[in-house]
Structure 1
Amino acid sequence: MRKAFGFVRDGVLKNTSYKQEPYVYGSLGGDDVPLVPAKPVVTGPQANPDSEIRRDYELALQLGTRDVWTAFLNRYPSGFYTDLAKAQLNRIAAEDARAAATEKARQAEDEKTRLVAERAKKAEQEKAAAAAKAAEDARLAAEKAKQIEEAKAAAAEQRRKDAEAAAAKALADKLAKDKAAAELAAKQAAEKQASPNVEQNIAAVTPSSTPPAMSPQETTRLVQSELRRVGCLTASADGDWNASSQRSLTLFNKYAGTKFDPKLASINTLDAIKAKPGVSARWSAITDSRPMATHV
């Protein structure tokens, strides 16, 4: 908007031969005003793409059956929670193996006791004892395997909790950072509105009597135009400060009581001529081509 006002000012100056200069009075703000609406910025916490799978995992963890974990793996065949589900499924398999080995050991021990009670042959008792020992060894191995799988599942579950806690902390830190940035921006905007700005408060500037930044040719042309206005020059205002223009300025000096250098068309000369009234009985028909004695 400020550039548009500047172009208008330049155009008016040129079209009025630098006699009119518009001035701007206003209080424009410093914020940008988009001509095309900007896309809305999404604020606040964003939806976690893993929220649904996490919810299903926690539900399966509460139920904890083989069928539930199998269904979970069928629905989510890969990913972080898939590995956790496999660990839980391995834990269940180890528990089933331990239970089967324990039952087998119990049955072998019962058989051994029965044979002793029935006073069976020594060979049969020894065979039953060996079977009972093997079953007990299998039970101990299954128990150990179960403990290993439980440890793995517990470690995986701890990793899940740590990862989720880290994600929650990162989200909280981001929200706190965004909030601090928004508060700082609001504070800076309030301070900017409270402090006066020279560019935003342009007040009652008195126009200068001389046009700014004119070239020598433009100055010459304007001096010639003013000499024509007061009746000291009949030639056109072409921007050429020739002998005719110099004689016209000499006439002006004589009748206006000024002492400007006739060889130079200056800004001061322009201001002095502008201050004089137009053609009158004193200035009428004074030209650079006829002797002054012929004029009244």
Structure 2
Amino acid sequence: MTHPSSAEPNPASVGRVPAPPFVRLPDPRKLFEARRERLEFLAQTSELAPYLWFIAGIAAAQGHIQDGLPEPELPPADALDRAREFGMPPLDRNRIELDDVLSETLSRLFDEVAALAKPAEAQAALEWIRTATPEQMRPIVQGVLTDAIPADAIAEHVYVAAGLQVHFARLAAKLDASRLVRISDGACPCCGGPPTASLVVGWMGAEGTRYCSCSLCGTLWNVVRVKCVLCGSGKGIGYQEIDGGPGTIKAECCDSCRGYVKILHQQKDPALDPVADDIASLGLDLLLQDGEYRRGSFNPFLLGV
């Protein structure tokens, strides 16, 4: 069962006012390598081991395919300036084209994951997506980017989402962090994507600070603690966790919007990964799914669950 608490204490030292950076851009190489390592570690003791090993294989592929990939091009400087002026994400999800770089990224990923052990349905979906025409691929890309994924084609969209994570992480890494502006607490300042989870970090100069992790590009952005990242309310915030756990993963529940997003205490366990540990803590979601709170975060590897 879950264990509620009324408020999440802030461990910042008395009299110390940290000035954490607003954004930490992803390092595409390290991002997926660290995720692979975490997934493989979690798979050793989890009841979800077969699935965690499969996603670890995808994470490994997301890292491997970057070798020799052509560089993606950022929007022109005037478009970046307009985005900043109007408080919009510089990587417009609605304007991403299935260009040569994205097409090659997807193709390489599909080839790389072909050898992974997987259920028959997942294999059939991969075989179809590997031979899809650009006309067939475009609506799938748009479906992932607009979070409009049909229930009868989840597996195909998951593979495309994995490729898009690589593409957007590489784009985000090329941005100037000092030029980014806050879109909203629940929207990535690089691509506008929703969070997978939030992290309380232990970085030097940002100890005890909370960051949201983008489900698409992997960017981290600062959001104050004890505040709903979905609706912005600071009232009626509570925390649910599984009894007997280490206290590093909780569901931050909001009485205003009745949503929740997991919060991972990375300052207690630096190995925590927002994607990997969100999947591995599925039990917490299952305990909450019949209650009063709805899951408000997004993880492409938990679609259909």
TM range (shorter): under 0.3
The structure number with the bigger radius of gyration is 1
TM-score normalised according to structure 1 size: 0.17
Task: Name the structure with the higher helix share.
Answer: 1
Higher relative contact order (CA 8 A, sep 6+): 2
Task: Name the structure with the higher strand share.
Answer: 2
